[in-house]
Amino acid sequence: MSEKLIDGLLPSGHDVPFGEIEAAFARLAHDGRRRRVPRALLATVIVVGPPGRLIPAAEALDQLGDVGVRAILISEGTQAEPVARVTDTAVAVSGLAPKYLNNAVAALRLSSLPAAVWWRGGSIETFGDIAELADRLIMDIEHPDELWKAALGLFERTALTDLRWAALTRWRSALAHLFDLPNVRRGAAAMKQVTIETGDRPSARLYGGWLKSSLPWPSSAKLDIRQSAASSAPLECVSLDCGGVAVNLRMREGKRCLEGTASASESERIVPTGDSSLASLIGEELGMRTRDLAFERALIAARQIPT
Amino acid sequence: MQPADDRNPLLDGLRIEPTPSPTALIIFGASGDLTRRKLLPAIYHLSRGQRLPARFTVVGIARTEMTDDQFRQQFHDSLKEFAGVAKPDDVSSALARRLFYVHGEMDDPALYRNLLAKVQACGAPDGMLFYLAIPPEVVGPVADQLATAGLTTAPGADAWRRVIVEKPFGSDLDSARALNQRLHKYLDEPQIFRIDHYLGKETVQNLLVFRFANGMFEPVWNRRYIDHVQITAAETVGVERRAAYYERAGALRDMVQNHLMQVLALVAMEPPIAFSAENVRDRKLDVILSMQPFVNDRDDADHVVRAQYVAGWVNGAPVSGYRQEEGVNPASTTDTYVALRAYLDSWRWAGVPFYLRTGKRLPKRSTEIAIQFRKPPLHIFSRVSPTPIAPNLLIVNVQPDEGISLRFEAKLPGTRMQLAPVMMNFRYGSAFGRAVPEAYETLLLDAMLGDATLFARHDFVEASWALITPVHEAFARAKASEIPTYEAGDWGPHEADALIAADGRRWRTL
């Protein structure tokens, strides 16, 4: 199982004993046959997850490889010194016992540069421990409620986010632009209902949490999340009924652009959805360093929205 | 400025930069080259990057008769030619619907009534940004008309009116003062944005970050450690279609008075107490005010060389001389090359020469700042490695290939102690792997946001003209036969080499 995973993660790497990973990095750094143009190293990215979710992450980081990250890919197991596979910018460690995960990361991260942990699954206890080593902790699991609960206790220890939050950036900024209009802002005080159509309920909860924690949300206002059976997209449509002002955001046909309208001002806006590939989203996250208070507030509010 | 209690609650923590309030961008000179090449593509890229407000309108103004639809087609054509947008996409189509056009004579009050009606029909947004992409002699009359039509006065606390003025800001000190006074009749200084696209370039902005966000460079950024500074702006092109303007301007007024002075000020300025428009511009002004005149009676030294290109070869093709260019006076004395030596009377820079040079039809298109450090006081390796050591050099590449390089001495691998200079390179293109925005995108957005940090202030412009005008007057007194020449494709005249050689230095070969 371990060998198969490692083949999938870094097919072109070299297998080395666990204790010789650093030496292998140094050797490869001076190998003139490297395929990429070397770039400035900007961060270490540690990906933790089950085998099936590590491979797409490895592929995404491979696309970002020339943006300057050292990737450490770890799947949990029972071994203390598993075999590692090393390329010039990445190391894959398969089957590492959770209790050694911290030690491994501490040894392999680039000490002078920020470290981001991309959490794609694993034990909740390890998630809490690894926060000590991470400058940024990026959650990215299918059913996040337990993880979100654990995350609430980590706000003071590291900068937290969920990859869904990055996927919602265009949706948030598109709506925010419509709120540049003074009459839309004024209308928000008379909010009656927000309807979110989604293909991914956690995304909709996060978006709803963001709205509830950002807008003057009257106690009578309702949030209705509707699951779209035909879609797996984070969001399909967001409608705000603010008394006399109807604000609407929807994905246009072709899924390339969002269309925003605000009835009171007859304002219309079309923005590209941007690149929503895993590589693009994680690339965007790696550009962030600081605590995101808007996310933290949204997460707290999202936890109150039924799963 | 938005009142604090009426701020947009959804912008909090959003990973987008601030967005301007609803804006109408009114471009005077909408059928011109600058609009097609730079402004329309910049608007498109800003829209794609979600940097424009929800209510955003463009009104193009020019003498050319055109309908709204024809202007929209010009927009699409411009994107195709200059932004690589082969066919209209969702973003460009949505933007095109918000493009309008008004034609008329710039001094005709009816034009401004039509403009006002058009803007009101578009919903009269909070902000109006007037971009004057027009010849300098028309700027004053347009400002008069805008004021008369009431377009320079904001109707309420949330509203704003701003004007972007393209260079040249005058043609000498007197005309610059007159232009500033005329603009100040109707507009406060914070409403006036004098655009110098050099300041929008990523590397030029990075100069501030490089100097003031790093602790290791500033301690050596002074006369104790720096031997001299060279600032070069080299172009391979000739005058192209700008002969009428260039004949009056020349390299000195086209490049030195604005671009090179701005760059010099950023290199030499003291640290501002904060990164704000007024603080940064105050410190830049100090630099210009501390510069010794280029023309003075204090010494006999010649601090300025001018020249004009004659026929030669550029990029492997024969090119004609300046006087043979279309639209150029066959007896023209216009300078196409200028080299200057500047000294600053300040504690930081006393005695450190700043060499500036710019020219057309040079062998390579390149703009760079080279800061050469002093050699070590003692060459302790001279017996084992007799080759003279190269002084440390910090090179800031402004264009192309934006980045920073540092040259230092290293030991050659081997058993002998041999030294050789090596370069440590940082390149924007490869380090961050993301596209660098065009200068006009940055500057247009800054103007909509009311951030004047990267724009020239009136006192800087006048101080700069105070230095340059006497040089130009000296040029004007010279006879045509006295202007040195250089062959197109050469790095300037021998006189420029002599200027720097007199100090025991030489120009960098780019």
Measured between beta carbons, the chain A residues lying within 8 angstroms of B44 are none
Interface check for A262 against chain B (CB to CB < 8 A): the answer is yes
Give the pLDDT of residue A1: 42
Q: What mean pLDDT is predicted for residues A97-103?
A: 82
Distance from CA of B143 to the nearest CA of A (A): 29
Contact between B55 and A181 using a beta-carbon 8 Å cutoff: yes
Distance from CA of B224 to the nearest CA of A (A): 31
Give the pLDDT of residue B441: 93
Confidence of residue A190 (pLDDT cuts 50, 70, 90): confident
Q: How far apart, in Å, are the Cα atoms of B196 and each of A141, B247, B262, B463? A: 48, 20, 9, 16
What average pLDDT is seen over chain A? Answer: 84
Q: What mean pLDDT is predicted for residues B258-284?
A: 94
- CB-based contacts of A157, cutoff 8 Å, min separation 6: A131, A132
| Confidence check: pLDDT of A110 > 90 | no
Contact between A169 and B90 using a beta-carbon 8 Å cutoff: no
**If residue A165 lies in a helix (H) or strand (E), which one and from where to where?**
helix A163-167
Give the pLDDT of residue A205: 96
Contact between A272 and B10 using a beta-carbon 8 Å cutoff: no
Determine which of A14-23, A91-100, B266-275 has the lowest per-residue pLDDT on average. A14-23
Give the pLDDT of residue B4: 42
| Helix, coil or strand: residue B312 | strand
Contact between A294 and B14 using a beta-carbon 8 Å cutoff: yes
What average pLDDT is seen over chain B? Answer: 89
Give the residue on B whose Cα is nearest the Cα of A285: B15
> Tens digits of per-residue pLDDT, A137-177?
999 999 999 999 999 999 988 899 999 999 998 899 889 88
* Cβ-contact A228, A193 below 8 angstroms: no
Contact between A293 and B6 using a beta-carbon 8 Å cutoff: no
Tokens of B10: 């959804």
Give the pLDDT of residue B90: 83
> Tens digits of per-residue pLDDT, A25-69?
777 766 655 545 455 566 788 999 988 899 899 888 887 766 567
| Confidence check: pLDDT of A263 > 60 | yes
Higher model confidence: residue B253 or residue A107? B253
* Most confident range, picked from A107-116, A264-273, B429-438, B484-493: B484-493
Q: Is residue B259 among the annotated active site residues?
A: yes
* Cβ-contact B83, B68 below 8 angstroms: no
Report percent pLDDT > 90 for chain A: 30
Contact between A214 and B431 using a beta-carbon 8 Å cutoff: no
Contact between B8 and A176 using a beta-carbon 8 Å cutoff: yes
Tokens of A207: 């978006």
- CB-based contacts of B446, cutoff 8 Å, min separation 6: B193, B200, B452, B453, B454, B455
- CB-based contacts of B494, cutoff 8 Å, min separation 6: B484
Q: Residue A181: which of B14, B54, B430 has the nearest Cβ?
A: B54
How many residues in total does chain B contain?
510
- CB-based contacts of B85, cutoff 8 Å, min separation 6: B44, B76, B79, B92
Give the pLDDT of residue B2: 41
Contact between B13 and A66 using a beta-carbon 8 Å cutoff: no
| Confidence check: pLDDT of B447 > 80 | yes
Q: Residue A180: which of B54, B91, B430 has the nearest Cβ?
A: B54
Contact between B433 and A178 using a beta-carbon 8 Å cutoff: no
Q: Is the dihedral of CA B146, B148, B152, B154 positive or negative?
A: negative
Interface check for B21 against chain A (CB to CB < 8 A): the answer is yes
Let me know how many helices (H) and strands (E) chain A has, helices first.
12, 14
Give the pLDDT of residue A306: 87
Q: Residue A172: which of B10, B22, B54 has the nearest Cβ?
A: B10
Q: Residue A267: which of B8, B54, B430 has the nearest Cβ?
A: B54
* Cβ-contact B58, B99 below 8 angstroms: yes
CATH of domain B4-166: 3.40.50.720
Contact between A39 and B433 using a beta-carbon 8 Å cutoff: yes
Per DSSP, helices labelled H in A215-264 are none
Confidence of residue A219 (pLDDT cuts 50, 70, 90): confident
Separation between Cα atoms, residue B406 and residue A259, nearest integer Å: 48
Give the pLDDT of residue B15: 61
Name the phi and psi angles at B60, rounded to 5: -90, 140
Return the closest-CA partner of residue B31 out of B67, B84, B85.
B67
Distance from CA of A8 to the nearest CA of B (A): 26
Q: Is the dihedral of CA B136, B142, B144, B146 positive or negative?
A: negative
Interface check for B54 against chain A (CB to CB < 8 A): the answer is yes
| Confidence check: pLDDT of B481 > 80 | no
Tokens of A42: 């900007």
Contact between B54 and A216 using a beta-carbon 8 Å cutoff: no
Tokens of B233: 């702006």
Give the pLDDT of residue A77: 85
Question: Cβ of B315: how many Cβ atoms within 10 Å?
Answer: 10
Q: Residue A257: which of B90, B158, B432 has the nearest Cβ?
A: B90
Distance from CA of A82 to the nearest CA of B (A): 33
* Cβ-contact B383, B417 below 8 angstroms: no
| Confidence check: pLDDT of A178 > 90 | no
Give the pLDDT of residue B493: 95
Q: What mean pLDDT is predicted for residues B34-46?
A: 93
Tokens of B440: 């006009």
Measured between beta carbons, the chain B residues lying within 8 angstroms of A260 are 54
> Tens digits of per-residue pLDDT, B190-246?
999 999 988 888 888 889 999 999 999 999 999 999 999 999 999 999 988 788 889
Confidence of residue B3 (pLDDT cuts 50, 70, 90): very low
* Most confident range, picked from A58-62, A257-261, B341-345: B341-345
* Cβ-contact A78, A247 below 8 angstroms: no
Give the pLDDT of residue B211: 94
CA B423 to chain centre: 28
Confidence of residue B297 (pLDDT cuts 50, 70, 90): low
Give the pLDDT of residue B309: 95
Cis peptide, bond prior to residue B400, ω within 30 of zero: yes
Give the pLDDT of residue B298: 57
Chain A with chain B: Cβ pairs closer than 8 A: 97
Interface check for A189 against chain B (CB to CB < 8 A): the answer is no
Per-domain residue ranges for chain B? Answer: 4-166, 200-436+454-501
Interface check for B123 against chain A (CB to CB < 8 A): the answer is yes
Contact between A267 and B426 using a beta-carbon 8 Å cutoff: no
Give the residue on A whose Cα is nearest the Cα of B434: A67
Distance from CA of A173 to the nearest CA of B (A): 7
DSSP structure class, residue B344:
B
- Out of 2.60.300.12, 2.60.40.420, 3.20.20.220, 3.30.360.10, which CATH number does the structure's domain B200-436+454-501 have? 3.30.360.10
Q: Residue B90: which of A37, A40, A270 has the nearest Cβ?
A: A270
Selected for mutation to probe chain A from B50, B85, B160, B432 (highest A CB count within 10 Å) is: B50
> Tens digits of per-residue pLDDT, B370-391?
999 999 988 888 887 777 888 9
Give the pLDDT of residue B280: 93
Contact between B21 and A180 using a beta-carbon 8 Å cutoff: yes
* Cβ-contact A200, A283 below 8 angstroms: no
List A residues 142-171 in contact with B (Cβ-Cβ < 8 A): 169-170
Q: Residue A172: which of B14, B91, B433 has the nearest Cβ?
A: B14
Q: What mean pLDDT is predicted for residues B83-106?
A: 90
Interface check for B90 against chain A (CB to CB < 8 A): the answer is yes
* Most confident range, picked from A80-89, B281-290, B423-432: B281-290
Give the pLDDT of residue A30: 63
Amino acid sitting at position B214: N
Interface check for A288 against chain B (CB to CB < 8 A): the answer is yes
Amino acid sitting at position A114: P
State the pairing for strand pair B403-411/B419-427: antiparallel
Rounded to 10 degrees, what is the CA torsion of A208, A214, A216, A220?
20
* Domains present along chain A, CATH in parentheses: 2-134 (no CATH), 167-272 (3.40.30)
List B residues 190-249 in contact with A (Cβ-Cβ < 8 A): none
Higher model confidence: residue B411 or residue B129? B129
Give the pLDDT of residue B142: 94
Amino acid sitting at position B389: I
Give the pLDDT of residue B452: 92
Give the pLDDT of residue A27: 74
Q: Among residues B45, B197, B228, B259, which one is catalytic?
A: B259
Ramachandran sector of residue A243 (left: φ over 0; alpha: ψ -120 to 50; beta: rest): left
> Tens digits of per-residue pLDDT, A282-305?
888 877 777 888 999 999 999 999
Q: How far apart, in Å, are the Cα atoms of B417 and each of B378, B386, B388? A: 16, 10, 13
Buried b (16+ CB within 10 A) or exposed e, A131-170: bebbbbbbbbbeebeebbebbeebbeebbbbbbbbbbbbb
